[in-house]
Chain A
Amino acid sequence: MNFFLTIVLDGLIQASWLFVVALGLTLVFGVLKILNIAHGSFYALGAYIAATAVTIIAANGLPPSAGFVAMLVSVALIASAVGLLLERGLLKMFYGRDEVVLLLVTYAVFLILEDLTKLIWGANPIYATQPYELFGNVEFAGLYYVGYDLVLIPISAAIGFLVWFGLNHTVTGKIVLAVIHNEEMSVSMGVRVNRVYAVAFAFGVLLASLAGALTAPKISMQPGLSSDVIILSFAIVVIGGLGSVGGAAVGAVLVGLARAASVHLMPQAELFMIYLIMAAVLMFRPEGLFTREKARRI
């Protein structure tokens, strides 16, 4: 029983940060219809910025809690700015092109960001462990957990709730939903779709880098981080259905549990398991678990 609980808890911890990354990816796809390959790079960017912030705070002798706040604030500011700049300065030029061409544009952005992070932070692993001890250790059903890991679960649940609430119960959110549903109709009703695009993209970048910042104290930051994360979040959004918030949550939990289960039961099969689930879901429900099939043009 304990063993089972370990898997579930580990899975949920994994799922919590993966959900935040995937949420950003699925929102950007919903609004802009772009499958953003560079999304993982924004996760890495957030993690690196967080590491720098935490290191600066620690070097000045401030407590780890200040480091925790500083990393979230600095990441939020820089990421939104980067997102807005990229959308207005670059992506805008490619709207109206084929889906696959847009995919390649984000692939180019991925390549560029990959080297830029290497240029700024170097190729050696860096760490930002100070905030990790912030919440101490927690005993849970006879097992010891790092408090920070457990705190991630409610934080990401709260983020998920806020996004859901914002989308469904505020005017801005409903405008965004309208654009997701039918862009042309929204334009003719007077929605400034360009603005919605910019905000949605920046928000997606923000979510990815917040997830990066939140996980920064747990991991070591090194090149290759972004390509691993993007592959996981692709699997999640495809399982859940592209553009669906609930789908991202279910997908994240599935992928988190699959990862945790295979780490504990069959470490050889970790990556393998996740893609097997994704391939299986696509075989039976090509549009993902949570999206309805669209009518087709005849």
Chain B
Amino acid sequence: MKQGMHPLVTILLVVATTLFGRVLPTWTLSLATIAASNALIALGIVILARTGNVSFGQGLFYAAGGYGVALIANSWGITDAVAQMLIGAVCGALLGLVVGPLIARYSGIFFGMLTLALSMVLYGALVKTTALGGSDGFNVGRPSLFGMIFTDPREADFMLYAVSVVTTGFAGIAATILFRSELGLASLAVRENNLRVEYLGISSNRVITINFVIAAIFAGASGAFALMAERHIDPQFAYWTTSGEFVFVAVLAGYQSVTAVFVASLALELVRSFSNLYLPNTWQLVLGVFLLGVILFLPRGIGSLWMREKPRRIEPQAVIPIAARKEAAQ
């Protein structure tokens, strides 16, 4: 993210996308809802990745958001979509506040493995908890919005689509602001060299923790959307392959542009549903080949298609001219 889009442009884009939903066929609506919700969680991974840490266990917060919303909604009778989204975000935030400080000390592969382990702890616990339906999970009712109850499934789908697109759009604006803020710049510095950041008087653990909690909030809200869209929840939410898919979206997007995350998420959902349709038994194969292709040919992600590349690292360029001069002199 170099200059990023102006927030006003993003808002216009969100409004246009939401209105565009009116003319979309029903099947695309639910697909786009899932894409927006996956983009939200992948955005969290991108935010965290700017500190150099990739979480392979976002399923932990995804499931926490989903289960938290499902339980609270079922016992208190809350059906409002926005309220459910907020509950999911709060669940994610609370868990993130517990896990974040513990995990901020780790980096690289150990960070990934520990997050994966924690999400699998939750998975293991959920599978064996018969009160929550065990491995089958349980169902929840259709969400409403500000007291409006939608009986027409198309209207209900559109409502959910609109709420998820708007939420994800705002999350995107927030991320753009964050990237330009002091914290966002410190995150990049932590990725380059966390010890030097410490010498400058910034706690890199704190930077990582804050980014981690933001990612957890996004993941929790995303879990709430997935729950509302599927109206069903099961431990698969926390399984490591689910988390793997979110990292997949983040890598597909690259770490440069917020818009790219949405495009990547939509691309993934399209590939998935088309290969489901035409190649029902081999969609994972298609997905794998797709991922390899992106890593090989678009190493900086889909975003690099329209973002101009700027050198990230400042290479010791001064050395090269001297060497060249010497060569020229000889």
Contacting pair B288 A118 (CB below 8 A): no
B287 contacts chain A at the CB level, 8 A cutoff: yes
Shortest Cβ gap from A164 to chain B (Å): 24
Shortest Cβ gap from B64 to chain A (Å): 16
A197 contacts chain B at the CB level, 8 A cutoff: no
Binds B, one of A51-59, A139-147, A272-280: A272-280
B116 contacts chain A at the CB level, 8 A cutoff: yes
Shortest Cβ gap from A259 to chain B (Å): 11
Binds B, one of A11-19, A106-114, A128-136, A249-257: A106-114
Chain A residues whose C-beta falls within 8 Å of the C-beta of B125 in the assembled complex: 272
Contact with B along A93-124 (1 / 0, CB 8 A): 11001011101110111111011101100010
Q: Pick the most buried of A271, A283, A296: most chain B CB atoms within 10 A of its CB.
A: A271
Shortest Cβ gap from A86 to chain B (Å): 12
Binds A, one of B65-73, B90-98, B146-154, B243-251: B243-251
Residue in chain B with minimal CB distance to A278: B117
Cα distance A278–B129 in the bound complex, in angstroms: 21
Shortest Cβ gap from A128 to chain B (Å): 23
Would you list which residues of chain B between 229 and 253 have a CB under 8 Å from chain A?
A: 239-241, 244, 247-248, 251
Contact with B along A223-253 (1 / 0, CB 8 A): 0000100010011001000100000000000
Chain B residues whose C-beta falls within 8 Å of the C-beta of A242 in the assembled complex: 109
Residue in chain B with minimal CB distance to A298: B195
Contact with B along A262-292 (1 / 0, CB 8 A): 0000011111111110110011001100000
Chain B residues whose C-beta falls within 8 Å of the C-beta of A112 in the assembled complex: 284-285, 288-289
A71 contacts chain B at the CB level, 8 A cutoff: no
Contacting pair B295 A94 (CB below 8 A): yes
Whether A279 touches B118, Cβ cut-off 8 Å, given contacts A107-B248, A112-B285, is yes
Selected contact of B110 from candidates A37, A108, A110, A286, CB within 8 Å: A286
Would you list which residues of chain B between 73 and 123 have a CB under 8 Å from chain A?
A: 102, 105-106, 108-110, 112-114, 116-118, 120-121, 123
Contacting pair A101 B282 (CB below 8 A): no
Residue in chain A with minimal CB distance to B195: A298
Chain B residues whose C-beta falls within 8 Å of the C-beta of A101 in the assembled complex: 251, 295, 299
Instruction: Classify the interface of chain A: helix, strand, loop or mixed.
Output: helix
Chain B residues whose C-beta falls within 8 Å of the C-beta of A27 in the assembled complex: none
Contact with A along B18-55 (1 / 0, CB 8 A): 00000000000000000000000000000000000010
Contacting pair A103 B285 (CB below 8 A): no
Contacting pair A275 B120 (CB below 8 A): yes
Selected contact of B282 from candidates A104, A110, A115, CB within 8 Å: A115
Contacting pair A238 B295 (CB below 8 A): no
Whether A115 touches B281, Cβ cut-off 8 Å, given contacts A93-B296, A100-B112, A107-B244, is yes
Shortest Cβ gap from A9 to chain B (Å): 24
A297 contacts chain B at the CB level, 8 A cutoff: yes
Contact with A along B280-301 (1 / 0, CB 8 A): 0111110111011001100100
Q: Pick the most buried of A37, A94, A100: most chain B CB atoms within 10 A of its CB.
A: A100
A76 contacts chain B at the CB level, 8 A cutoff: no
Selected contact of A35 from candidates B106, B109, B117, B289, CB within 8 Å: B109
Contact with B along A27-52 (1 / 0, CB 8 A): 00000000101000000000000000
Cα distance A272–B92 in the bound complex, in angstroms: 20
Chain B residues whose C-beta falls within 8 Å of the C-beta of A286 in the assembled complex: 105-106, 110
Contacting pair B128 A115 (CB below 8 A): no
Contacting pair A282 B128 (CB below 8 A): no
Shortest Cβ gap from A40 to chain B (Å): 11
Chain B residues whose C-beta falls within 8 Å of the C-beta of A227 in the assembled complex: 239-241
Chain A residues whose C-beta falls within 8 Å of the C-beta of B296 in the assembled complex: 93-94
Contacting pair B105 A238 (CB below 8 A): no
Chain B residues whose C-beta falls within 8 Å of the C-beta of A269 in the assembled complex: 124, 128
Would you list which residues of chain B between 125 and 149 have a CB under 8 Å from chain A?
A: 125, 127-129
Whether A111 touches B240, Cβ cut-off 8 Å, given contacts A268-B128, A275-B120, A286-B106, is no
Residue in chain A with minimal CB distance to B114: A282
Cα distance A110–B117 in the bound complex, in angstroms: 19
Chain B residues whose C-beta falls within 8 Å of the C-beta of A270 in the assembled complex: 124, 128
Shortest Cβ gap from B143 to chain A (Å): 31
B196 contacts chain A at the CB level, 8 A cutoff: yes
Cα distance A269–B299 in the bound complex, in angstroms: 41
The 6 closest A-B pairs by CB, nearest first: A271-B124, A111-B288, A112-B288, A115-B285, A272-B124, A268-B128
Q: List 17 A-B contacts (CB under 8 A).
A: A35-B109, A93-B296, A94-B295, A97-B295, A99-B108, A100-B54, A105-B292, A108-B289, A108-B295, A111-B288, A112-B284, A115-B282, A115-B288, A271-B123, A272-B121, A275-B117, A278-B117
Binding site for A on B (CB under 8 A): 54, 56, 102, 105-106, 108-110, 112-114, 116-118, 120-121, 123-125, 127-129, 193, 195-196, 239-241, 244, 247-248, 251, 281-285, 287-289, 291-292, 295-296, 299
Known: A97-B295, A115-B284. 11 other contacts (CB 8 A): A35-B113, A93-B296, A107-B288, A108-B292, A112-B285, A115-B285, A238-B110, A238-B117, A242-B109, A270-B124, A296-B195
